Amino acid sequence: MVLILLGPPGAGKGTQAVALADELDLVQISTGDILREAVRSGSELGKKANSYLEQGLLVPDPIMLDLIEEELKLHAPDTGVILDGFPRTLAQAEGLTGLLARLGMNVDAVVSIEIDDATLVKRLSARRSCPQCGAVYNLVTNPPSTDSTCDRCGHHLIQRDDDHVDTVRERLRVYHTQTEPVVDYYRERSLLKEVDGTGTPQEVWERIVKILSKQDNG
């Protein structure tokens, strides 16, 4: 199975992808997480991607298509995957369609999490992440037991560099101009399921599971 999660920055793609991967026994491929890890490790990919991430801009399509090809070849033949944060441009969507065809696969469903910009800005300014184990918290809606320490592994929590308000606004602008056409691309191919991203993570999760099970039952 190839499931795509779309949605603006802070819509809850990562939060939902972790839960869905667990429930549906899929591998989560988060392009944002892979790029941040590459920056931290100082790899060639990280050196190329760093300035784009810092500015809230998209990493160029050829780099992203190479990255996703590698990930799909690694995981997709053995298990299903959830793509979290990919594709983000029409060129990436078209490249993915071609790549999957070459691997004898196709996209099964695309879930787009819909939510307004003002809520996203508030959510992202309160997000804290664990650089060690990847756990994600929110100081307002899902706080850790202490403001600065990961409940899971005890590491010091950080605010992502691109979660400062000016960069968040730039990421939203990029989403509306470059990624919204991807939503239309999948709508035109009757693969799109739109889900209301307001309410608690549990409520959003229930909406996604319901909409996906409707698809399974025809």
What is the smallest separation between the CB atom of 103 and ligand AP5, expressed in angstroms? 18
Nearest to 136 by CA among 4, 23, 14, 13: 14
| Cα maximum dimension of the chain | 48
Window 168 to 207, contacts with ligand AP5 (CB under 6 A): 171, 199-201, 204
Q: Which residues have CB under 8 Å from 139's CB, separation 6+?
A: 126, 127, 128, 147
Q: CA-to-CA distance for 130 and 152, rounded, in angstroms?
A: 9
Judged by beta carbon, residue 7 or residue 150, the one nearer ligand AP5 is 7
Residue window 35-74: x/- pattern of binding to ligand AP5, with contact defined by CB under 6 A = x----------------xx--xxxx----x----------
85 touches ligand AP5 by CB under 6 A:
yes
Window 111 to 140, contacts with ligand AP5 (CB under 6 A): 123, 127, 136-138
What is the smallest separation between the CB atom of 71 and ligand AP5, expressed in angstroms? 11
Judged by beta carbon, residue 110 or residue 218, the one nearer ligand AP5 is 110
| DSSP H/E element including 128 | strand 127-129
CA 114-139-152 angle, 5° bins: 100
Q: CA-to-CA distance for 185 and 149, rounded, in angstroms?
A: 41
Q: Which residues have CB under 8 Å from 137's CB, separation 6+?
A: 127, 128, 129, 130, 143, 144, 150, 157
7 touches ligand AP5 by CB under 6 A:
yes
| 73 part of the active site | no
Applying CB under 6 A, among 3, 6, 12, 107 the residue interacting with ligand AP5 is 12
Binding site for ligand AP5 (CB under 6 A): 7, 9-15, 31-32, 35, 52-53, 56-59, 64, 85-88, 92, 123, 127, 136-138, 141-142, 162, 171, 199-201, 204
